[in-house]
Amino acid sequence: MKFNIEGLKSFIPDATIEALLESEANAPASRIRDIIQKSLDKNRLEPAETAALLGVKDPELKEMIKEGAHTLKERIYGNRIVLFAPLYVGNECINDCVYCGFRISNKDCERKTLSHQDLVDETKALVDVGHKRLIMVYGEHPMYSPEYIAETVQTVYDTKFKNGEIRRVNINAAPMDVEGFRVVKAAGIGTYQIFQESYHQKTYEQLHPSGPKSSFLWRLDGLDRAMKAGIDDLGIGALMGLHDWRFEVMGLLYHTIHLEDTFGVGPHTISFPRIEPAIGTSFTDSPPDKVSDEDFKLLVAILRLSVPYTGMILTAREPVDVRNEVLRYGVSQIDAGSSIGVGDYSHKDDESRKKSQFVLGDTRSLDDVIYELTKGGYIPSFCTSCYRAGRTGEHFMEFAIPGFVKRFCTPNALLTFSEYLHDYSSERTLKAGLELVDFEVGRIEDPEMKKSVTAKLEEMKTGKRDLYY
Ligand code: SAM
Ligand code: SF4
C-alpha cells in the first residue's frame, strides 16, 4: 500500500465548528421551525443551521425536531426498513484503537480469521435464516490485503444454499490506496463503509496511538481515494462517545459537504454507532463523552434533517427500546440476528465473546426482529435491486425522483419480504407478514403496479424467486 499523506489537508474546520456551536445555541423557536421546514422542502442544511438544531435546549423544541424528522421520513421514504447482517471475517489487527476489543494490545482477544470453508459455512448459516445483504468486516492487518478482501467477497457471492444466496455485499475495512480500492471494486462490492471515529483531530490522535490508523489525515482522505478508484457508493460514520457528539454531527455534515463539492455526490449512508463494552477494554466502561439515550435520539433526528437524502444505518449495538424509537426518526437500514464474534453464525461457542469486537445491545433473532417490525407497521425489506440493476445512488433517487419509492422501493420490499415469508419465517411471522403484505398491496395506488405486484406474488407461490423491479 502506498501510504502517503503529503499534501493532504483536513477539511474539518475545528474552530468554525466550535464557534458555530456556540453562536447558534438557543436559537428562537421561529428559526428552528424554519430550519425544519427547509429540510422538509428537501434541502440539505448548512452547518450554521445544523448547529442551531444541535444548540436546542428547550424540551418542546427538541420534540419539534424529532417530529420533523419523523414527518420527513414518512413523507419521503415510507415505511420500509432494509435488513442486513454483519459478517466478521477476521479480528487480527495492527492498530491500537483504545475502544476496540480487536486492538493489538488486547491480550484477552482470541484471534481468528475465517478459512475458506469457515466463510462458506458462515454464509450458508446467514442465507439459511433468510439474509440477502451483508456487511463484511475486517480488522486492519497485512493479511487482509485488497486481493484477500476481494477473494472473500467473491466466496460469499458464489455460495448458494437451498433457495437463497447473498445478493449484496458491503464492506467495512481499513482504507486502502487508490489501487487497492480498484481491486475491491472489481469484486462487486456494494457500499464501502469506513468510520472516521472522531472528526476532532486532537481526540482522534490521542485514541489511535499506533498503527496506520494513527494518521487522522490518511483516514479522512480514505473516501476521496475510494471515489478516485470509482467507488461512489460510500458509507461514513462517527463513533459516538469519543468526543462531544454535537461536534461529531458537524463533522459528518462537513464530510458530506466535502464529498459533494469534490465529487458531485455525497455519502450513500451515515452511521452513528455508540461505544459498547468490549472484553479487556476498560476504556469502554466510561467513554469520555458518553451519549445518553435522550441525546442519541435527538442526534438521529438532527442527522436525518441535516442530510435528508442519505441512508441512515442503526446497528444492533443499540438496545431494543432505543432502536424502536429511533426507527421513527429516519433510520433506513438495521442489522438483525447479528453475531459479531468471528465464526459465530456457524460455530457459536462459549468463548465467542473473546472473538467479538464488542457486546451487542439487541440480540433478537432475525425472525423476531421481522415479526416486531411487521407488528409496528414497517415493511422489512431485503431489496438489492437498484444495485443489481445498475441504479447507483438509490437513496438519492428515492429522495429526488418523485414516485421512485412507489415504483421501485415499496414493490421490491413487498417481493423480498414475501420471499422471506415463504422460505424462512416462523408461523407467527408468516401470519403477521401475509396480513401486512395484503394490506400494503391494497394501498398501491397505481392499478397497473398493483396488478403487476399481485402477479409476481402469485409467481412466488409457484416457486419463483428473486423477482424485482
Ligand atoms: N478495522 C476497520 C476499522 O477500524 O475501520 C474496520 C472494522 S472495525 C471492526 C468497525 C467499526 O467498529 C470501527 O470503525 C468502530 O467505529 C467500531 N467499533 C470499534 N470498537 C467499538 C466498540 N467498543 N463499540 C462500538 N463500536 C466499536
Ligand atoms: Fe483494529 Fe478497526 Fe478495531 Fe481499530 S477499530 S483496533 S482498526 S479492528
Q: What is the pLDDT of residues 265-294, one digit of tens each?
A: 999 999 999 999 999 999 999 999 999 999
- Mean model confidence pLDDT for the chain: 95
Options 3.40.50.300, 3.40.50.2000, 3.20.20.70, 2.40.10.10; CATH of 74-386: 3.20.20.70
Q: Backbone phi, then psi, for 140, in 5-degree steps?
A: -105, 115
Segment 307-336, tens digit of pLDDT: 999 999 999 999 999 999 999 999 999 999
Residue of 172, 270, 314 best suited for mutating to test ligand 1, as the one with most atoms within 8 Å of CB: 172
| CA 14 to ligand 1 center in whole angstroms | 23
User: What mean pLDDT do residues 128-141 have?
Assistant: 98
pLDDT band per the 50, 70, 90 thresholds, residue 116: very high
Query: Cell 472516521, residue?
Result: 196
User: In this predicted structure, what is the pLDDT of residue 93?
Assistant: 98
Residue minimizing CA distance to atom 6 of ligand 2: 103
User: In this predicted structure, what is the pLDDT of residue 352?
Assistant: 66
Q: How far is CA 69 from CA 36, 112, 304, 314, 370, in A?
A: 8, 41, 6, 15, 23
| 19 touches 47 (CB < 8 A) | no
Which ligand number lies closest to the CA of residue 280? 1
| CA 121 to ligand 2 center in whole angstroms | 24
Query: Cell 473473546, residue?
Result: 354
140 CB within 6 A, ligand 2: yes
User: What residue spans define the domains of the chain?
Assistant: 74-386
Between CA 306 and CA 392 the distance in angstroms is: 22
- The C-alpha cell at 145 is 490485503
Distance of CA 316 to the CA centre of its chain: 11
DSSP state of 355: G
Buried b / exposed e across 423-451, counting CB within 10 Å, b at 16+?
bbbeeebbebbbebbeebbeebeeeebee
Between CA 284 and CA 100 the distance in angstroms is: 8
95 CB within 6 A, ligand 2: yes
Residue 336: half-sphere exposure toward Cβ, Cα within 13 Å: 27
Residue of 357, 358, 362 best suited for mutating to test ligand 1, as the one with most atoms within 8 Å of CB: 357
If we measure between CA atoms, which residue out of 21, 79, 30, 328 comes closest to residue 38? 30
87 CB within 6 A, ligand 1: no
Between CA 92 and CA 107 the distance in angstroms is: 12
Residue 278: half-sphere exposure toward Cβ, Cα within 13 Å: 25
Between CA 49 and CA 55 the distance in angstroms is: 10
102 CB within 6 A, ligand 2: yes
Please say if the pLDDT value at position 426 is more than 90. yes
Q: What is the model's pTM?
A: 0.96
Please say if the pLDDT value at position 169 is more than 80. yes
Tell me the percentage of the chain whose pLDDT exceeds 70.
98
97 CB within 6 A, ligand 2: yes
User: In this predicted structure, what is the pLDDT of residue 387?
Assistant: 84
Q: Using CA of residue 46, residue 49, residue 54, residue 59, what is the dihedral sign?
A: negative
User: In this predicted structure, what is the pLDDT of residue 332?
Assistant: 93
Which ligand number lies closest to the CA of residue 196? 1
Please say if the pLDDT value at position 119 is more than 80. yes
Please say if the pLDDT value at position 40 is more than 80. yes
Q: What type of residue is 352?
A: S
- The C-alpha cell at 390 is 445498475
Segment 392-406, tens digit of pLDDT: 766 777 777 778 888
| 265 touches 271 (CB < 8 A) | no
Residue minimizing CA distance to atom 8 of ligand 1: 139
Q: Please report the atom of ligand 1 found closest to the CA of residue 276.
A: 24
User: In this predicted structure, what is the pLDDT of residue 358?
Assistant: 76
What 3-state DSSP class applies to 134?
strand
If we measure between CA atoms, which residue out of 253, 420, 415, 258 comes closest to residue 336? 420
If we measure between CA atoms, which residue out of 254, 271, 329, 334 comes closest to residue 298? 329
User: In this predicted structure, what is the pLDDT of residue 265?
Assistant: 92
Burial class of residue 251, CB neighbours in 10 A (0-12, 13-18, 19+): buried
- The C-alpha cell at 358 is 464488542
Between CA 37 and CA 370 the distance in angstroms is: 33
Q: In DSSP terms, which residues pair with 326 in a beta bridge?
A: none
Residue minimizing CA distance to atom 5 of ligand 2: 100
pLDDT band per the 50, 70, 90 thresholds, residue 389: confident
344 CB within 6 A, ligand 1: no
Q: In DSSP terms, which residues pair with 136 in a beta bridge?
A: 87, 171
Segment 342-368, tens digit of pLDDT: 999 998 766 666 667 777 888 999 999
If we measure between CA atoms, which residue out of 201, 359, 197 comes closest to residue 284? 359
